[in-house]
Amino acid sequence: MNLIFMGPPGAGKGTQARQIAEKYSIPQLSTGDMLRAAVKAGSEVGLKAKAAMESGGLVTDEIVVGIIGDRINEADCAGGFILDGFPRTVAQAEALEVMLKERSLKIDHVIDITADSEALVARITGRSTCSKCGEGYHKQHKAPAKAGICDKCGGALATRADDNEETVRNRLSVYEAQTAPVIDFYKNGGSFKTVDGMQNMDAVFQSLCDILG
């Protein structure tokens, strides 16, 4: 099963992709996570991506298409994968079509998770993530039992440098200008669905499971 999770920053793509990945035993391919790892490692890709990520702009199509092309060749993607945060431009969606065709693959579901822009700002500015296991938290909606500590593994929670109000507003306008058109790219195909991301996390998960079966 090959899936695309779309939606604006903070909609809940990562939260849901982690759970769906676990339930269906397929990997979550988050370009954001991969790029942050590259920046941390100081690799060539990381050095090229850093400034765009810090300002809330998009990394070049060439870089992210390259990353995804390499990643879906790996053995763990043979049984399917979830694309989380890719494609984010129409050019990326077109490049993905070519990559899929070359590998005789197809996307089974494109799921757009929607949410109001004020809710998105509150979600992103309240977000933290375990630096050890990657579990996501929120200061109001999913607070850890002990401040700053992961409930699951005891790791330290970290906040992203780009999760500040100013950058978030920029990311939302970049989303409207460059990523919202990708919805039209997929809308006419039969595999496009929308899920209301304003529901609580469990209800969003249930809606996704209903679609995926």
Provide the annotated active-site residues. Answer: 13, 88, 127, 160, 171
Q: What are phi and psi of 211, to 5 degrees?
A: -70, -45
| H helix and E strand count, the chain | 9, 8
Q: Are the C-beta atoms of 5 and 13 separated by less than 8 Å?
A: yes
Q: Which of 66, 40, 75, 64 is nearest to 182 (CA)?
A: 64
Angstrom distance (rounded) from CA 89 to CA 178: 5
Strand partners, 2: 81
Tokens 């100081």 appear where?
42
The verdict on 109 binding ligand ADP (CB under 6 A) reads no
Q: Which of 45, 59, 182, 208 binds ligand ADP (CB under 6 A)?
A: 59
Q: List the single partner that 31 binds among ligand ADP, Zn ion, none, CB under 5 to 8 Å by kind.
A: ligand ADP
Query: Minimum distance between the CB of residue 143 and ligand ADP, rounded to whole angstroms?
Result: 10
> Is the Cβ of residue 54 or residue 108 nearer to ligand ADP in the bound state?
54
Q: List the single partner that 35 binds among ligand ADP, Zn ion, none, CB under 5 to 8 Å by kind.
A: ligand ADP
Q: Under the rule (CB under 6 A), what is the footprint of ligand ADP?
A: 7, 9-15, 31-32, 35, 52-53, 56-59, 64, 85-86, 88, 92, 123-124, 126-127, 136-138, 141-142, 171, 197, 199-201, 204
